């Protein structure tokens, strides 16, 4: 799946996943809405927010806030959020995944990035200005105009990252406006009893067969990291939902697509405090957590809402709290006295989770084999049914989801299925909806970016196909995207190389002819956790690559209003066998974990180098070796035949770079043969 | 020239120019000195620092400083410093370019990186502990042990970057020790009248034929940037010596190798204040600066020492001062109230200087043509004289310096000449000294990394040669270094790509077989200014690449105790001609500016791809076209012949990757021909 837009604006500009260039300055394009006429013209998709705004403004007056900032995140900096946390959506009507609203007594504005401009125009009513940028500087300038000097600007500090808080603070610094963190969330007050209730479904233990190690081993490992750290932290604070889920081998379903549950953890050198709605724990989960009580491996269950108070008490002592700033809100961070803080970008749990052990690797590989079966079934089904003109994007999405559900250990899709035909695929994040979905045809390219949750691993794969006659540009672009995928996948590099310093290998074949793509090149992935698992990947805020990490590799090319191409595979970082050795640690390379062939119809073999073709052929051998037996086991004979056909080795001497030298000899040969024949 | 070790520790670890891996933890190796015996054993190169330390400790007592920190930089964050600023060297005896000393009443320690450990052991006496790391955390821990709680730790804030100050401040925060900035420099007090006097040589205007634009145009350009900036700064503060020199088209010789002079500039929207020893200005320079007086293009000359007082007065008004944090000391920074600061990594002058205009490009190209003549003369001279066994590294260095001096507009070397034979070349920064210099021979490789200052441009080039029979590993490593140089040089990439995201193209051919190098891949270069001109280059703290920037490209390979290879060329960022267009700005690539052929004796053609060979051949055509006529003009006929021979095109179908496909046909052909012949 295309990497998410990350919070920091500079990452957005460099690595935004929106198709094409993300504009740096607000656009001057026309709005779909016409708020200058009376009554205003609004599309039927707009939400009337007058009453909601009035309610919020009432709570703002009570708290003396002249402006109130509402973000799109939750208290755990989650990528996906629950309905209960969709405050921005409720207040504004805008349902895009990223944006910021600011409300004063007489103004309201929403900031969002180019992926969402059209959607925002369709969903906002005339109470809202749409600001086509996401820079905090722009939000700050707007606030400075809207709020007189001496006024207070408020926000809920538990919904802002430390970085974002600092950015607002810097923008307002010295301006006479004061940034006030309000622990009461004013949107929640306005929302009142209409706000969805917290999830009450069961939180369960992963069966032992699906865990890489016991939670006790994981806790011991983290405590060892604490002891080995020069600053000797006495505790680790976990705010990211995946962190607690991973550490205790627990799962839940509070958030769509990610099997996590609302929680915090404070792990000290002697005590383990898990902040969670305890009544939701399954009997087995509770027993597992309490099995070491009393003692250092006893998990003390605390109310989810008590984390701040508990942390405040804990940090009165002679302690040092280690936390990852990327997943901690300013609200919790601010509780800890500066000298008792050990800040790193990512907590030791995030760092430990990033490197999969042998068992976790084996599970992720196994999940990808079964996942490949579902994708191959889908490709064959498309090949047979698309020509009849009865498949649209939505039906396709439903079908692949169903094929995945039929695989062992399936727990549904790992993100909203992207199924995009023709020009729709030019929007990198497009998902079809029932009723407004494009019909697939042999006349255009089709891109699907899909993934599954399985108890043993999370998957994510993108294939782009064409059943008819692709244009020369489509074929060239597809081949160059594939070359990028191959060039990065087969790269050999030193241990601890930062992903951002090698991701251009996935772009070079496109760059060579003036093409590019406007999103990141890959992201980590979990064992039945997030499909975007930080901190692994190729962006600036990712950590260096180490053996045992999984990441996607997903170059693409998008042509506005015409077509979109993306080829995505999950790969595992492994040790490389090199001719020489230098340094103390072996060099690394990638092992392909996704196992689905590419579309032969879209490959222009003449562009590939012999090395690229050899690599492709060895990948295809690998697919046959791993997926073939599984297809047979599942008695999918037609799919097995399809796979054999689709993974025929390519001729290496068809390669373009060999052409020049070969051509000379070939023509000489034909002259000679001609001579012989004559 | 190999990029310098930059100040921040993380850059040091990633990009340190030391050969091989820069260790992260202090080493436990033995010291050359033996301070455990009485009297201690010291090499004859050690300096007795007892009296100097006693003097410093006296001044420390007067100022109540329990510890005093002494850095290696000057007040302008210069890479090279004058003798007068060599405080660390005077105090410790250590003459390496990077280090930090801390002195208490009974202890003294020096921190330096692995390049300098041996040198430090040879130069320090037993008053000094040698700490084999440069992490500020380590310095901080040492201070915490040496200074009791409640004690003051002092430093001269005008010798520390903002970042470094903040790091010390963080390390001591909450520890009960207070970091006190002392404007009086205690080393200078102790040094007393032994300290070298300030330079008194003339500061002169560059002749108009050697400037890219007049200083008035440059000032107008910077003022335009100020007006266009969202924060509307009222002034720009310049601390970097190159900034002032570039802005006013002035040069001096206060610092070895860099033609700059001690100065600061405060450029406001109405007034230009140049802080400099005014009596040193040439008549022409003074006239040029005063030609617009009175008025907004009048340069007001102020005493160099008045900059702090002036800045303090200026910032009492309603002003905003724009500065680049990388070149500003904490001393000046701290004077400006936070809300009146506009901080960016680099000042607008640094940013403007980085992009050369057409005239500046032409001048830098011209300087490199003449420089190529000197290097080609040197290569031919070596070829003829080395076999006689009479050339050593030092003599070689003298000879190439002399050849450069003979070229038009020469102003001497642009850095200390690196001339290293055999195992000496494994030390990336090795420079020979008279008397301890290795003899060049046909039995080993020779690396020279040299550059010149010319009135029209600064040059920097490295070639590695072998006059005998290189080992297979030497040949493979050389070829792979060359492949890296070619791969990065011929890269096509989008405008504003960050250098650090593409520098691995220079490493891939080495990585493929498990080899690598431990330094950065390139650095900007000036028009008769610094050989390391920030902020251009391939490191993390460099700015994105734009057309008009010059950078070196210099992959290498070093084998401890055996040999060293580096191939360095200066290139210009230019627009690329691409088959397709995407986005609004054209794609970029590099134009080769250095024009000297590589050693054919060290190239294994079978490793190169046909594209690499074609690129090499077109580069050689370019050398012939540009340097050939200049050799003829200078009547260097033997060198001309040498050039023709050395730039013969390579056969493209000798390329390794084409071999497989070609071989099949070739053997078929030989069978057929055999058949015919039979």
- A454-494: per-residue pLDDT in tens? 999 999 999 999 999 999 999 999 999 999 999 999 999 99
Q: Give B578's contacts in chain A (Cβ within 8 Å).
A: 512-514
Q: Give B666's contacts in chain A (Cβ within 8 Å).
A: 665
Q: Is B654 exposed, middle or buried (0-12, 13-18, 19+ CB in 10 A)?
A: middle
CA B233 to chain CA mean position, Å: 30
User: What are the structure tokens assigned to B190, written together?
Assistant: 């102790």
- For residue B665, the model assigns a pLDDT of 46
Q: What are phi and psi of A131, to 5 degrees?
A: -105, 115
Q: What are phi and psi of A55, to 5 degrees?
A: -65, -45
Q: Is A598 exposed, middle or buried (0-12, 13-18, 19+ CB in 10 A)?
A: buried
Q: State which residues of chain B have pLDDT below 50.
A: 5-27, 657-678
Query: Considering just the CA atoms, what is the radius of gyration of chain A in Å?
Result: 27
Q: What are phi and psi of A465, to 5 degrees?
A: -135, 160
3-state helix, strand, coil in chain B (%, to 5): 40, 15, 40
- For residue B29, the model assigns a pLDDT of 59
A661 close contact with B: CB closer than 8 A: yes
Q: Over the range A377-404, which residues count as b (16 or more CB within 10 Å of their CB) and which as e?
A: bbbbbbeeebeeeebbbbbbbebbbebb
Contacts of B425 (CB under 8 A, 6+ apart): B445, B446, B447, B464, B558, B563, B564, B565, B566
- d(CA B273, CA B201) in angstroms, rounded, equals 21
- Chain B from 557 to 576: CB within 8 A of any A CB: 576
B672 close contact with A: CB closer than 8 A: yes
CB-CB contact of A245 with A281 (8 Å): no
Q: Is B54 exposed, middle or buried (0-12, 13-18, 19+ CB in 10 A)?
A: exposed
Residue to test with chain A: of B138, B501, B671, most A Cβ within 10 A = B501
- In which band, very low, low, confident or very high, does the pLDDT at A582 lie, cut at 50, 70 and 90? confident
Q: Measure the CA dihedral A242/A246/A252/A258, to 10°.
A: 40
- For residue B226, the model assigns a pLDDT of 98
Q: Whole-structure pTM over 0.95, yes or no?
A: no
User: What are the structure tokens assigned to A358, written together?
Assistant: 């042998």
In chain B the first and final C-alpha atoms are separated, in Å, by 60
This complex has an ipTM of: 0.89
A655 close contact with B: CB closer than 8 A: yes
- For residue A671, the model assigns a pLDDT of 45
Mean pLDDT over each residue of chain A, to the nearest integer? 91
A547 closest CA partner among A357, A409, A291, A676 = A357
Is B503's CB within 8 Å of A501's CB? yes
CB-CB contact of A646 with A638 (8 Å): no
The residue in chain A having the minimum alpha-carbon distance to the alpha carbon of residue B21 is A583
Query: Considering just the CA atoms, what is the radius of gyration of chain B in Å?
Result: 27
A609 close contact with B: CB closer than 8 A: yes
Q: What are phi and psi of B580, to 5 degrees?
A: -115, 170
- d(CA B538, CA B501) in angstroms, rounded, equals 8
CA A675 to chain CA mean position, Å: 62
Residue A17 in this model has a pLDDT that exceeds 60: no
What is the count of residue pairs from A and B with beta carbons less than 8 Å apart? 147
B676 close contact with A: CB closer than 8 A: yes
- For residue A13, the model assigns a pLDDT of 27
Work out whether the CA dihedral B605, B607, B609, B613 comes out positive or negative.
negative
**Residue written as tokens 């050593």?**
B392
CB-CB contact of A327 with A347 (8 Å): yes
Is A174's CB within 8 Å of B230's CB? no
Is A508's CB within 8 Å of B505's CB? yes
Is B338's CB within 8 Å of A174's CB? yes
Beta strands in A71-140 (DSSP E): 100-104, 108-111, 129-131
Residue to test with chain A: of B494, B556, B650, most A Cβ within 10 A = B494
- Give the strands of the sheet with A418-421, arranged side by side: A418-421, A446-450, A461-465
Residue A27 in this model has a pLDDT that exceeds 50: no
Residue to test with chain B: of A484, A560, A582, A677, most B Cβ within 10 A = A582
| Nearest neighbour of A587 by CB, restricted to B511, B672, B673 | B511
Is A658's CB within 8 Å of B660's CB? yes
User: What are the structure tokens assigned to A257, written together?
Assistant: 């697509």
Q: Is B508 helix (H, G, I), strand (E, B) or coil?
A: helix
Element (H, E) at A310: helix A307-314
3-state helix, strand, coil in chain A (%, to 5): 40, 15, 40
Is A653's CB within 8 Å of B664's CB? yes
- In which band, very low, low, confident or very high, does the pLDDT at A677 lie, cut at 50, 70 and 90? very low
**Side-chain-side CA neighbours of residue A321 (13 Å):** 27
Q: What are phi and psi of A71, to 5 degrees?
A: -95, 180
CB-CB contact of B332 with B287 (8 Å): no
Q: Is A210 helix (H, G, I), strand (E, B) or coil?
A: helix
B269 close contact with A: CB closer than 8 A: no
- For residue B350, the model assigns a pLDDT of 98
């Amino acid at each position: 799946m295309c990497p998410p837009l990350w919070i920091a604006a500079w990452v957005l500009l460099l690595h935004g996943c929106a198709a094409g260039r993300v504009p740096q300055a607000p656009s001057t394009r026309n709005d779909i809405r016409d708020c200058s006429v009376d009554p205003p013209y609004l599309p039927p998709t707009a939400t009337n927010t007058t009453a909601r705004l009035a309610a919020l403004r009432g709570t703002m007056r009570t708290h003396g806030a002249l402006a109130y900032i509402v973000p799109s995140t939750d208290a755990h900096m989650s990528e996906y959020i629950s309905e209960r946390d969709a405050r921005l959506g409720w207040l504004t009507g805008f349902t895009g995944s990223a944006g910021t609203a600011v409300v004063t007594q007489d103004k309201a504005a929403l900031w969002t990035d180019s992926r969402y401009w059209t959607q925002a125009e369709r969903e906002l009513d005339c109470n809202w200005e749409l600001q086509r940028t996401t820079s905090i500087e722009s939000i700050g300038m707007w606030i400075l105009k809207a709020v007189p000097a001496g006024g207070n600007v408020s926000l809920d500090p538990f919904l802002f990252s430390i970085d974002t808080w600092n950015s607002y603070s810097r923008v307002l610094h010295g301006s006479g406006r004061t940034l006030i963190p309000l622990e009461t969330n004013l949107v929640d007050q306005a929302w009142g009893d209409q706000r969805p209730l917290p999830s009450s479904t069961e939180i369960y233990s992963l069966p032992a067969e699906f865990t890489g190690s016991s939670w006790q081993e994981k806790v011991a490992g983290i405590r060892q990291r604490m002891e080995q750290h020069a600053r000797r932290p006495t505790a680790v604070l976990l705010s990211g939902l995946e962190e607690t889920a991973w550490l205790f081998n627990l799962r839940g379903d509070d958030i769509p697509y990610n099997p996590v549950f609302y929680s915090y953890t404070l792990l000290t050198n002697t005590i383990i405090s898990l902040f969670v709605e305890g009544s939701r724990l399954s009997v087995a989960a509770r027993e597992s957590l309490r099995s070491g009580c009393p003692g250092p491996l006893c998990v003390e269950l605390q109310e989810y809402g008590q984390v701040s108070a508990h942390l405040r008490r804990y940090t009165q002592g002679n302690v040092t709290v280690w936390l990852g700033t990327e997943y901690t809100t300013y609200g919790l961070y601010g509780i800890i006295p500066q000298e008792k803080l050990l800040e790193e970008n990512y907590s030791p749990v995030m760092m430990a989770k990033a490197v999969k052990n042998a068992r976790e690797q084996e599970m992720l590989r196994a999940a990808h084999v079964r996942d490949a079966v579902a994708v191959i079934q889908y490709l064959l089904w498309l090949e047979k049914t698309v020509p009849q003109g009865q498949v649209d994007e939505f039906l396709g999405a439903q079908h692949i989801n169903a094929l995945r559900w039929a695989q062992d250990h399936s727990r549904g899709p790992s993100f909203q299925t992207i199924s995009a035909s023709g020009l729709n695929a030019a929007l990198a994040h497009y998902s079809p909806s029932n009723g407004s979905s494009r019909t697939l045809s042999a006349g255009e390219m089709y891109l699907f970016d899909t993934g599954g949750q399985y108890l043993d691993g999370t998957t994510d794969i993108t294939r782009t196909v064409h059943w008819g006659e692709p244009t020369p540009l489509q074929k060239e672009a597809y081949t160059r995207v594939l070359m990028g995928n191959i060039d990065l996948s087969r790269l050999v590099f030193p241990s601890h190389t930062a992903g951002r310093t090698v991701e251009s290998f996935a772009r070079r074949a496109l760059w060579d002819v003036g093409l590019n793509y406007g999103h990141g090149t890959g992201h980590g992935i979990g064992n039945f956790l997030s499909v975007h698992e930080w901190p692994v990947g190729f962006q600036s805020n990712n950590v260096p690559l180490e053996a045992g990490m999984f990441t996607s590799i997903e170059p693409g090319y998008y042509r506005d209003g015409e077509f979109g191409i993306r080829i995505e595979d999950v790969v595992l970082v492994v040790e490389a066998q090199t001719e020489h050795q230098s340094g103390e640690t072996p060099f690394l390379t990638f092992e392909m974990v996704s196992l689905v062939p590419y579309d032969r119809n879209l490959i222009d073999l003449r562009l590939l180098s012999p090395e690229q073709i050899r690599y492709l052929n060895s990948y295809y051998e690998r697919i046959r070796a791993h997926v073939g037996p599984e297809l047979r086991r599942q008695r999918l004979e037609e799919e097995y035949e399809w796979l054999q056909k689709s993974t025929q080795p390519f001729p290496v001497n068809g390669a373009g770079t060999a052409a020049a030298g070969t051509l000379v000899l070939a023509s000489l040969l034909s002259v000679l043969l001609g001579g012989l024949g004559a």
